[in-house]
Chains A and B, each alone.
Chain A
Amino acid sequence: MNLFNIIDEIENVDPEIHDRLNPRRAAVKNITSFGSKVAVAAMPFALGSLFKKAYSATPPSSVVEVLNFALTLEYLEAEFYNQATAANVIPSANRAYIAPITRDENAHVAFLKTVITSLSGTPVSKPNIDLSGGNGSGNGPFKAALTDFRTFLTVAQVFEDTGVRAYKGQAPNLIGNQVVLTAALSIHAVEARHAAAIRQLRCSLGQSSTIRPYIESTATLGNDTGDARVNGNYAGEENTVQGGVDLTTLTSVRIATGAFDEPLEKQAVLDLLVGSFIIG
């Protein structure tokens, strides 16, 4: 689930989306000024109402298409865990780690479907996915992900870390919209929990003695996985300057990069997924 991307995609189609969702706009005022106690169960409906009110009626079909594209990306993560579970690649001793992630990713799919449905849209069905990363050949670099648990965890970690990064870059576009931004930040935190858990499991299984639940980069390489094939997924994580403060004057590069996760721009995320894991 990447709400920031959704808004961004909508913006491509409807440049006035931010004005429409602006809390000062009377039509959505009641929605954005929701108290902090919005029932979680009501969240998809609150979002649906927000969009619906923003467009005063049924949103343009292109908006639904954009939301469906976001759903497509979300299907990828859920499908990865669902297929791995079906393929029995996860040892029973480790299912306590993978089952909650599988549950959450499917919940994100359902959440987005509900939002689309509440907009009178029709959620798309699952896209063609190649979990080997081979764009349909089934023979991509990660083809062992469904047969070898080590490879499975490598891919899972990259998906989760990339998911965490994808949320950040678009956050400023949602400033002031309590419902949308809070939901997005809350899903973002769950992706980070997943990423940490996968990393922690890899360490405890001895797959890497140096891997930590947080991303520890060097001064020149963001990628801390030891797998150069995923350098792009971690590009930029080596940043050590935050808000004009050079953190290396306060601590080491390892701590400075571990203490802050970096954003990844939308196009970079798409470039990493479409044409490999999502058949383009």
Chain B
Amino acid sequence: MKTEINPITGGASMARRSFLRYAGASAAAVAVMGAAASCKKDRVSVNSGTDIGSGDIGVLNFAYALEQLEAAFYLQVVATPYSGISSLETAYLTDIRDHEVLHRDFFKAAIGSKAIMALTPDFSKINFSDRTSVLAAAKLFEDTGVQAYDGAGYLIKDPGYLTIAGKIVSVEARHAALISNLITPGSFASDQVDSNGLNKSASIKEILTAANGFLKTKVTANNF
């Protein structure tokens, strides 16, 4: 029915993907054995999961994980558009896809060798042929992204990284408003903004609990 998109390659064949997943699982299994031997709990957890690490790199990996998830989602949305999609909606969703792919690739380049692995998404709860299902998931991803950056910004120690996080969070907020308006015109600041006029924010652990519901590769934050 649907072809899931590899978050890194953007469209690898199923055969290649299956191989990579198999290879990844084997590597993870080996890593788990190694971790058990050295008793380092913050290295690799079971179920081919990954930990974001600590410090600024940990926060950047946290952002990288979320951008991987968002990019994979919009790659799928654009590859298999929902029925009745308008040309303007196609333009918006394609732009968002390109933004999220760029955010993902940017973090991968910026983090370098300390970047977490490519995550395998699990979109089994989303019906990509249904507008309501797709936009509800998009709203969840965007709102979660804004809450994540707002909530984790204070953990960043490096001024340059904090500025870049600020440059990205406002674009995520723009996406969130756009998607919300596609669902219900004028709802861009309704359920996510409190009576003081502040956007909601959430902790890294709260965000990962939500994100892991859409990930086969579970992400942990043992140092936060």
**Chain A residues with a Cβ under 8 A of chain B:** 1, 36, 40-41, 43-44, 96-97, 99-101, 103-105, 107-108, 110-111, 164, 167-169, 171-172, 175-178, 181-183, 185-197, 200, 203, 212-214, 242-245, 247, 250-251, 255-256, 258-263
Contacts and interface: CB of A to CB of B under 8 A. Distances in A.
Contacts of B193: 100, 104, 190, 193
Q: SS class of chain B's interface: helix, strand, loop or mixed?
A: helix
B198 A213 contact: no
A63 B30 CA distance: 59
Nearest to B197: A107
Given A186-B198, A243-B160, A245-B106, A192 B177 contact: yes
Q: 6 closest Cβ contacts across the A-B interface?
A: A96-B186, A172-B159, A107-B197, A192-B173, A196-B174, A192-B170
Contacts of A111: 196-198
Given A193-B176, A214-B95, A242-B106, A175 B157 contact: yes
Q: SS class of chain A's interface: helix, strand, loop or mixed?
A: helix
B171 interface: yes
Given A167-B166, A256-B102, A187 B177 contact: no
User: Number of contact residues on B: which range applies?
Assistant: 35 or more
B162 A171 contact: yes
Nearest to A167: B166
B102 A259 contact: yes
B188 A186 contact: no
14 contacts: A40-B196, A111-B198, A172-B163, A175-B156, A185-B199, A190-B198, A193-B188, A196-B176, A212-B95, A214-B99, A214-B175, A259-B98, A260-B167, A261-B174
Interface string B167-199: 111111111111001000110111011111111
B20 interface: no
A105 B189 CA distance: 12
A107 B193 CA distance: 11
Contact of A187 (B99, B103, B106, B198): B198
Most central of B150, B193, B198 by chain A CB within 10 Å: B198
B186 A97 contact: yes
B197 A177 contact: no
A179 to B, nearest CB: 8
B138 to A, nearest CB: 13
B131 to A, nearest CB: 17
Nearest to B180: A193
B200 interface: yes
B157 A176 contact: yes
Interface in B64-104: 88, 92, 95, 98-99, 101-103
Contacts of A190: 173, 189, 193, 197-199
B105 interface: yes
A36 B174 contact: no
A182 B192 CA distance: 15
Nearest to B185: A96
B99 A185 contact: no
Nearest to B167: A260
B167 A258 contact: no
B174 A182 contact: no
Given A36-B201, A171-B153, A214-B99, 17 more contacts: A40-B196, A43-B198, A99-B186, A101-B189, A103-B197, A105-B197, A107-B197, A167-B170, A182-B150, A196-B175, A196-B177, A196-B188, A197-B181, A213-B178, A214-B171, A255-B98, A261-B167
Contacts of A262: 167
A214 B177 CA distance: 11
Nearest to A42: B196
Contacts of B98: 251, 255, 258-259
Contacts of A245: 106, 109-110
A178 B161 CA distance: 16
Contact of B102 (A96, A183, A189, A250): A250
A142 B217 CA distance: 53
Nearest to B60: A243
